[in-house]
Amino acid sequence: MEKKRPIGVTLLAILAGFAGVIAIIYTLQMLHLWPVTGPLGLFKFFTFNMFGAILWGIMAAIWLWVARMLWAVDIQGWLFVVVMATLNIILGLFSVIGGTPWEAISVALFLNSLILIYGLLPGTKAAFGVEEMQG
């Protein structure tokens, strides 16, 4: 039986796709294929850009996969969106420690915080059947 996709889950899938696009932009910035300065400031990650590019590239690929899973209302998509939002927040904070100004990473931190909060709401969990599995 196919699950119905509530509007909230659709929104969560779109936000996850948007997080993937932002992670792609950060990957390209660390590879110096995208401008590293702009309206949001200078983007740095310690001194070795390849390491940061690999981390953000992995995050981008996983975010896009998670968006597809959420679109299909797969419970694994819900689990991964919560885990990935948390990891992305941690990675963003490491970028700040590495020298990236808050202005440059604030979009990713805000978006991932929004995704994490929305993913943990009771209505979102119910759409994926998480509440049934816990009780």
Condensed to tens digits (0 to 9), the pLDDT of residues 60-102 reads 999 899 999 999 999 899 998 999 899 889 988 888 888 888 8
Two structure tokens written together for 91:
């990675």
Higher pLDDT, 100 or 106: 106
As a dihedral over the C-alpha atoms of residue 115, residue 116, residue 120, residue 125, rounded to 10 degrees, the angle is: 50
As a dihedral over the C-alpha atoms of residue 25, residue 30, residue 34, residue 35, rounded to 10 degrees, the angle is: 110
Kindly indicate the confidence band of residue 133, based on its pLDDT and cuts at 50, 70 and 90. Answer: low
Closest CA to 43 of 115, 111, 85, 106: 106
- What is the pTM for the complete model shown? 0.75
**Phi–psi pair at 8, nearest 5 degrees:** -65, -40
Locate tokens 């440059």: which residue? Answer: 104
